[in-house]
Amino acid sequence: MNYEKYPNKSLSRSPTLEDVAKAAGLSPMTVSRALNNPKIVRPTTVARVMEAVNLTGYIPNMLAGGLTTRRTKLIAVVVPQINNNMFVDTVQAIGDELALRGYHMLLCIVGYDTDSETDIVATLLSRRPDGIVLTGIHHSSELKRIILNANIPVVEIWDLTPTPLDMLIGFSHEKIGQAVGHYFLGKGYSRFGMVCASDRRAQVRKNSAIDVLRQDPQNVVEEVTLPAPANMEVGRTAFRHLLQKSERFDVIICTSDTLAQGVIMEAEARSLRVPEDLKVIGFADLNFAAHNRPAITTVCVDKSRMGQQAATMLADKIEGLEIAEHVVDIGFSLVVRESA
Amino acid sequence: MNYEKYPNKSLSRSPTLEDVAKAAGLSPMTVSRALNNPKIVRPTTVARVMEAVNLTGYIPNMLAGGLTTRRTKLIAVVVPQINNNMFVDTVQAIGDELALRGYHMLLCIVGYDTDSETDIVATLLSRRPDGIVLTGIHHSSELKRIILNANIPVVEIWDLTPTPLDMLIGFSHEKIGQAVGHYFLGKGYSRFGMVCASDRRAQVRKNSAIDVLRQDPQNVVEEVTLPAPANMEVGRTAFRHLLQKSERFDVIICTSDTLAQGVIMEAEARSLRVPEDLKVIGFADLNFAAHNRPAITTVCVDKSRMGQQAATMLADKIEGLEIAEHVVDIGFSLVVRESA
DNA sequence: TTGTATGCGTTATCAT
DNA sequence: ATGATAACGCATACAA
């Protein structure tokens, strides 16, 4: 446990630019330049500085730096959850891309039923991030005011609107619901079950699908909504609830692949074969969907690209680059596999 | 798109304590106290301050605050991945607990094969976090030096050693491997397949299990290691590789439930019934394991508690509270379900 | 209970 | 190419 410290052991506080400057026999300003903009410093001087940095174990203080430059290289990211598989790919992609661009990610996981998004964002802004990523497009007017007042780039993700706060990359939940509805409409099925998580965007997908399915008045549509997060257990439970509402279904439409996987498990536990006896469709094309048995028919959205591009848009805007499109619809695709 | 800004519209920079002070007809110091320690300020004064805060849309600048107090309310968290289900619960628990204690989480996802952990931590330290969470116990001596020099609390997670950098909460991968080995040893099985992700801790579990299984010289053990992250597809692929090494197995031991799920899928695709024809065991007790068909036998570790407690230990230490145990072994339990 | 002076560690700006 | 000075926004320490 007795690792050696740096030779400059007398310091209780961590070494500053001034300590490095003394060690190098230079002014703090020159050291600062050597570290941040070495091109404009004589190479031999840069070398002296580096030596002094190693000697002292100097680590820059970005609090002080950010205070003067008003740039923090920090991006705040607000997502509802990360343990339901839905947002994890996006968050990881954001983090990866930001790291490449030299930014750090301040991650805030707020849950689905937060009425305090506004307060949370306000505290995040006290770190003076250079940009912020928000999930979804529904925010309080107070939040909008705060963010616009902070005057930093914002990217909203995972939804679509022509009037974002600033920039947006996402997709239309309404269109996805409609696409799913139309896929089944006219295939001759008539008994539909909807399994939905209590998440606003999931509701939109569900309701849009129902609107389409109801175009045929013959169709029967039952639905179950359970509290987020959506996991396999919830899917199994939801299907049991559905079976109490009606004893037979042709199709179960789920608002996530995890729910779909649960429905399939529960169906097979009841000797219902998927897809022979029952069709099941999910959403998101999570990493297991293609490899499940049966492979899960789903709606694919490019979760990683969304994150990567959200980070890129932010970094570009922060760095003064031109943003080609402030609103990017990354679309979706119906992926027909075995389950439906 | 034309949301109103705060009345105090003339300011291009964001309002400071001084702006609030002017609006309230007080000194900046009084405003600071009213916000941070209202008890020592006259209630009517606090009210005046709050009014001025609302009027100006003031949001504190924690860069400036942290610079003087040397406390940032920021915790850096370093994990290999979050999209393989393994660490997500822990990260979410850390984030939740930190939020409760008033801290923000700076999340860094570094991958499994990073040789640059040291550099990454160094840049994280430039934010002057109040504490840091590291995954695993194997760090470069340079990293140790940097961290000890920074003189901030550290919690290592997901592994066990009597000599942590500072604090630790985790479990023994060696013991888990041994427990799995012993579970199967003497059950009469003799043909074992190991499916492993290329992650150091997974290797330890695998090797410890093998050591136990080899205690019976009759036993045949084949193994396949594939690059992390472990997902269902990798599990299916790995099982195919195993079947090229030997045509029959009694038991497949996987270093994660996701791999186990993949192996089961692949087995059933080949008309091998689990558990009748083949036993499969996973690791981690991920959220789907209990609800899979067959339910997956696995080793449960309390991933959320580990995160929650890691955050608690850090916050406690930062706030000067007594830490009961600097090394916490949260243990594990073999959860026997259907698959093995 | 409130106010004043000072310093935290850095960089912008201006000088040399 | 390098240095001196001031300022960033806040809280500590002390004064009133």
Q: Compute the distance between CA of residue B57 and CA of residue A66 in angstroms, rounded to an integer.
A: 21
Quick one: what percent of chain A has pLDDT higher than 70?
96
Distances (CA, A) of A206 to A174, A313, A329: 8, 30, 20
Least trusted range by pLDDT, from B111-115, B138-142, B315-319: B111-115
Quick one: what percent of chain B has pLDDT higher than 70?
96
Contact, B16 vs B8, CB < 8 A?
no
Mean pLDDT of B193-207: 96
Mean pLDDT of A121-149: 96
Q: Cα torsion for A175, A181, A187, A191, to the nearest 10°?
A: 170
Mean pLDDT of B47-57: 96
Q: Compute the distance between CA of residue B163 and CA of residue B161 in angstroms, rounded to an integer.
A: 5
Task: Give the nearest nucleotide to A27, CA to C1'.
Answer: D3
At B225, the pLDDT band (50, 70, 90 cuts) reads very high
- Tally Cβ neighbours within 10 Å of residue B71: 13
Q: Compute the distance between CA of residue B110 and CA of residue B96 in angstroms, rounded to an integer.
A: 21
What's chain B's average pLDDT?
Answer: 94
Q: Compute the distance between CA of residue A304 and CA of residue A78 in angstroms, rounded to an integer.
A: 16
Q: Compute the distance between CA of residue A63 and CA of residue A77 in angstroms, rounded to an integer.
A: 19
Going by the DSSP 8-state scheme, the letter that residue B115 receives in this structure is S
Quick one: what percent of chain B has pLDDT higher than 90?
89
Q: Could you tell me where the DSSP H helices lie in chain B? A: 17-24, 28-36, 43-56, 62-69, 88-100, 117-125, 141-150, 173-184, 200-213, 232-245, 257-269, 303-318
Q: Is the pLDDT of residue B3 over 50?
A: no
Residue type, B212: V
Mean pLDDT of B17-26: 96
- What's residue A11's pLDDT? 55
Q: Is the pLDDT of residue B1 over 70?
A: no
**A8: CB partners within 8 A, 6+ apart:** A15, A19, A23, A55, A56, A57
Contact, A230 vs A84, CB < 8 A?
yes
Mean pLDDT of B109-132: 93
- What's residue A75's pLDDT? 98
| A282-320 pLDDT, tens digit each | 999 998 898 888 999 999 999 999 999 999 999 999 999
Mean pLDDT of B147-166: 96
- What's residue A77's pLDDT? 98
Q: Residue B216, exposed/middle/buried by CB under 10 A (0-12, 13-18, 19+)?
A: exposed
Nearest of A43, A14, A49 to residue A30 by alpha carbon? A49
Q: Compute the distance between CA of residue B75 and CA of residue B127 in angstroms, rounded to an integer.
A: 10
pTM for the structure as a whole: 0.95
Task: Write down which residues 15-34 in A have CB closer than 7 A to strand C.
Answer: 16-18, 28-29, 32
CB contact under 8 A, B269 and A293: yes
Q: Is the pLDDT of residue B5 over 80?
A: no
Between B173 and A287, residue with greater pLDDT: B173
Mean pLDDT of B93-114: 94
At B114, the pLDDT band (50, 70, 90 cuts) reads confident
At B314, the pLDDT band (50, 70, 90 cuts) reads very high
| A80-126 pLDDT, tens digit each | 999 888 899 999 999 999 999 999 999 999 988 778 899 999 999 99
With beta carbons under 8 A apart, name residues in chain B contacting A293: 265, 268-269
At B291, the pLDDT band (50, 70, 90 cuts) reads confident
| A216-264 pLDDT, tens digit each | 999 999 999 999 888 899 999 999 999 999 999 999 999 999 999 999 9
| A37-84 pLDDT, tens digit each | 999 999 999 999 999 999 999 999 999 999 999 999 999 999 999 988
Mean pLDDT of A202-215: 97
User: Any idea what the Cα angle at residue A179 is, between residues A176 and A182, rounded to 5°?
Assistant: 150
Mutation pick from B113, B288, B305 vs chain A, by most beta carbons of A within 10 Å, is B288
DSSP output for B156-216: EESS--SS-SSEEEE--HHHHHHHHHHHHTTTT--EEEEEEES-HHHHHHHHHHHHHHTTS
Going by the DSSP 8-state scheme, the letter that residue A40 receives in this structure is G
Mutation pick from A4, A59, A137 vs chain B, by most beta carbons of B within 10 Å, is A59
Task: Give the nearest nucleotide to A59, CA to C1'.
Answer: C9
Q: Is the pLDDT of residue B149 over 70?
A: yes
Out of A1, A57, A268, the one facing B293 most closely (by C-beta) is: A268
A174: which 2 tokens?
Answer: 């309404």
User: Any idea what the Cα angle at residue B204 is, between residues B201 and B205, rounded to 5°?
Assistant: 95
- What's residue B11's pLDDT? 55
- What's residue A85's pLDDT? 84
- What's residue A114's pLDDT? 76
3-class secondary-structure state, position B111: coil
- What's residue A4's pLDDT? 40
Going by the DSSP 8-state scheme, the letter that residue A322 receives in this structure is P
Pick the residue from chain B with its C-alpha nearest to A119.
B59
What is the rounded end-to-end Cα distance, in angstroms, of chain B? 59
Q: Is the pLDDT of residue A162 over 90?
A: yes
Length of chain B, in residues: 340
- Tally Cβ neighbours within 10 Å of residue A79: 22
At B16, the pLDDT band (50, 70, 90 cuts) reads very high
Strand partners, A107: A77, B105
DSSP output for A13-39: SPP-HHHHHHHHTS-HHHHHHHHH-GG
CB contact under 8 A, A67 and B62: no
Q: Residue B10, exposed/middle/buried by CB under 10 A (0-12, 13-18, 19+)?
A: exposed
Q: Is the pLDDT of residue A1 over 80?
A: no
The HSE-up count of residue B297 (CA atoms within 13 Å, CB side) is 19
B175: which 2 tokens?
Answer: 């013991």
Q: Compute the distance between CA of residue A77 and CA of residue A257 in angstroms, rounded to an integer.
A: 24
3-class secondary-structure state, position B104: strand
